[in-house]
Amino acid sequence: MHDNPTKTTPPTQCADGGMWTLEKARALHDAPFNNLLFLAQTVHRQNFDPNKVQLSRLLSIKTGGCPEDCGYCSQSAHHETGLRASKLMEVDRVIAEATKARDAGATRYCMGAAWRNPKARDMDAVVAMVEGVKALGMETCMTLGMLDLEQTARLKQAGLDYYNHNIDTSERYYSEVISTRSFADRLDTLEQVRQAGIRVCCGGIVGMGEDPVDRIDMLVTLANLPEHPESVPINMLIPIAGTPLAEAKPIEPIEFVRVIALARIMMPKSHIRLSAGRTAMTDEMQALCFFAGANSIFVGDTLLTADNPGEDKDTLLFRRLGIEPMELEAR
């Protein structure tokens, strides 16, 4: 006789109240697919409206020329991708783009710069961008690489809501993808951001040639942070010609959905963002991801330098699924 999944009590943290271990997380990940999705949807409904998805917009405020050698990235100066480096975007243009995003329904505006870390000369403009987007009534998010204490304090004072700094993969597999920055460097940056009182946005990328256990271990690292990241973006690799991962074998759709479901169960109150790679997903795959607990997406035609489904396509999918955009959270 098969176990009845309705007898399983959805955990709000690790089921026994302790830290997540690889063994505990793997047991969930490897459960029968229907049981895993049932549990993930139950946890999701305990913490969120299951038919609302938060909409974010991402803008590259400084593209290309990054000194890091991340194997997946078109913006690395180490790779011959044909992408030309640009200067930091002017503040007025950023605010104009954010205004259009807000008017199209986005409640969070994310700004990314291809830096290892910001230089002192760039901080005045970055702070002005944060203040300008906040004045529009939107949540603000920045991803600028590593930060020092003074830079973190300035971003907090400017009103930055979220700082994105992904760990990308498991600690074991990390060195297979990146050599110019350590896994510990990423964790140190996250701790510094948290200590400053800025909310953390942190997730990773799947489909980079890692084993399933690496995906699980990545989520164990995130779920065992002192506080769960408020946003957890799960990216499906977009292979870019000229990068070391250009020929990486795609992750199977059901395996990707398992990652989304596990993230939802392990971090029940976090926004799980279905991020890069949606152009390669069918509507049915995205619907499964939403059922598994994804409740945030990026809207707009591009994500930094990669394609993203257009807003018309997302609107049509939402209408078919009965999903509505999530309103801005009250503070």
Query: One of 57, 66, 202, 215 is an active-site residue; which one?
Result: 66
Q: How many CB atoms lie within 10 A of CB 310?
A: 14
Question: For residue 65, what are its two tokens?
Answer: 């020329």
Q: Active-site residue among 57, 102, 108, 141?
A: 141
Q: Is 121 a catalytic residue?
A: no
What single DSSP character describes residue 5?
A: G
Q: What is the spatial distance between Cα 175 and Cα 68, in angstroms, rounded to a whole number? A: 13
Which one of 73, 181, 215, 289 is the catalytic residue?
A: 73
Question: Is residue 202 among the annotated active site residues?
Answer: no
Which of 57, 102, 108, 110 does the annotation list as catalytic? 110
Q: Interior CA angle at 145 toward 277 and 97, to 5°?
A: 60
Q: Out of 194, 258, 273, 278, which one is annotated catalytic?
A: 273
Q: Of 70, 215, 258, 264, which one is the catalytic site residue?
A: 70
Q: Which of 186, 201, 264, 289 is catalytic?
A: 201
Ramachandran sector of residue 53 (left: φ over 0; alpha: ψ -120 to 50; beta: rest): beta
What is the DSSP code string of 274-308? E-TTGGGS-HHHHHHHHHTT--EEEESSEETTEE-
Strand partners, 55: 297
Active-site residue, 116 included: no
Question: Catalytic site residues?
Answer: 66, 70, 73, 110, 141, 201, 273
